[in-house]
């Protein structure tokens, strides 16, 4: 691939403009896993700092993937209160469904996604991040229930394993990705150095699926007293009814301990 950067500063309300063009060739032996072959794709990002608001315009065209365009912004309303948002459009997006019998159904449409959020820092160094996310490429509640019903049917019938294998790739691309459904609420609360414990940050993160009412809850503890070394203990609880996104996960909870070293 090839890319470049152009940056220009100004006096006045428009303070900065930058543009980053990107060329991505896709051929048999070059970037084949990016998308359709025999295409030279062109992408770019235009950034402006206008009235103390950060704004990005992004796009990707060329044929390997469906053309897509986006915009995002971030602005500090006060020194401790920030709002941000994103909007994306994918032209002629192809969505693949799996019905209760395991048959693939394709729907093509222009998909729009958007996010609106805020970040607030209190006088006690508690940070709140709240976001609403609409995924225009996501699955409806009924489509997700059909998929889970199909999985149940396969495991109850020993002769249907071949059918499950045939639909595995579709399941990975449409159902197995992060946030596969349409509407989510995200909330994260973190506290810097509570009780004057230096380098210690506890936090809790929640993701709520509005469509099926399932959710995940992740409390965590982070400690970084040594330069370039971070210790993190995190537990994730997955809660939901049968045939819901988090209710059908492979586990009910997960415990992680990570050691990260920077060099």
Instruction: Please list the pLDDT of the chain residue by residue as tens digits (263 residues).
Output: 999 999 999 999 999 999 999 999 999 999 999 989 999 999 999 999 999 999 999 999 999 999 999 999 999 999 999 999 999 999 999 888 877 777 778 889 999 999 999 999 999 999 999 999 999 999 999 888 888 888 887 777 765 566 666 666 666 667 778 889 999 999 999 999 999 999 999 999 999 999 999 999 999 999 999 999 999 999 999 999 999 999 998 899 999 999 999 98
Write out the E strands in the chain.
Answer: 2-3, 6-9, 14-26, 39-50, 53-61, 68-78, 81-98, 104-121, 126-134, 183-191, 200-209, 215-223, 229-239, 253-261
Q: Strand, helix or coil at 256?
A: strand
- Give me the long-range contacts of 128-132 (CB less than 8 A, separation at least 24): 128/187, 128/188, 128/189, 129/186, 129/187, 129/188, 129/189, 130/185, 130/186, 130/187, 131/185, 131/186, 131/187, 132/183, 132/184, 132/185, 132/186
Instruction: Report how far residue 80's alpha carbon sits from residue 90's, in angstroms, rounded to the nearest whole number.
Output: 34
Domain 66-261 classification at class level: mainly beta
- In angstroms, the CA 65 to CA 55 distance is 24
Tell me the C-alpha to C-alpha distance, in Å, between residue 162 and each of 155, 159, 223, 239, 248.
Answer: 11, 8, 48, 31, 22
Distance of CA 58 to the CA centre of its chain: 16
Strand partners, 190: 127, 203
* Structure confidence at residue 80 (pLDDT): 96
Q: Is 255 helix (H, G, I), strand (E, B) or coil?
A: strand
SS3 156: helix
**What is the number of other CB atoms lying within 10 angstroms of the CB of residue 128?**
14
Residue 187's pLDDT is 98
Whole-angstrom distance, CA of residue 153 vs CA of residue 235:
32
- Domain span(s) for CATH 2.40.160 in the chain: 66-261
CA–CA separation, 95 and 255 (whole Å): 34
Q: What is the pLDDT of residue 103?
A: 73
Q: Which residues contact 88 (CB under 8 A, 6 or more apart)?
A: 68, 69, 70, 112, 113, 114, 136
| pLDDT reported for residue 168 | 66
């Amino acid at each position: 691939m090839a890319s470049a950067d152009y940056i220009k500063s100004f006096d006045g309300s428009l303070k900065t403009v930058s543009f980053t063009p990107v060329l991505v060739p896709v051929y048999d032996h070059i970037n084949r896993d990016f998308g359709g072959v025999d295409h030279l794709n062109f992408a770019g990002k235009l950034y402006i700092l206008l009235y103390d608001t950060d704004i990005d315009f992004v796009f990707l065209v060329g044929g390997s993937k469906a053309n897509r365009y986006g915009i995002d912004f971030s602005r500090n309303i006060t020194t401790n209160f920030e709002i941000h948002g994103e909007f994306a459009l994918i032209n002629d997006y192809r969505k693949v469904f799996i019905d209760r019998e395991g048959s693939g159904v394709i729907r093509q449409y222009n998909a729009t996604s958007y996010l609106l959020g805020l970040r607030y820092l209190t006088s006690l160094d508690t940070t709140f991040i709240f976001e609403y996310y609409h995924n225009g490429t996501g699955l409806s509640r009924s489509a997700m229930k059909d998929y889970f019903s199909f999985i149940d049917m396969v495991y109850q019938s020993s002769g249907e394993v071949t059918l499950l294998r045939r639909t595995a790739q579709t399941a990975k691309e449409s159902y197995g990705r992060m946030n596969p459904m349409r509407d989510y609420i995200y909330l994260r609360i973190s506290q810097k150095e509570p009780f004057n414990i230096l380098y210690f940050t506890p936090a809790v993160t929640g993701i709520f699926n509005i469509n099926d009412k399932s959710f995940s809850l992740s409390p965590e503890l982070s400690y970084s007293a040594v330069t370039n070394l971070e210790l993190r203990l995190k537990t994730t609880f997955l809660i939901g009814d049968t045939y819901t996104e988090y209710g059908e996960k492979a586990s009910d909870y997960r415990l992680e301990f990570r050691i990260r070293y920077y060099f």
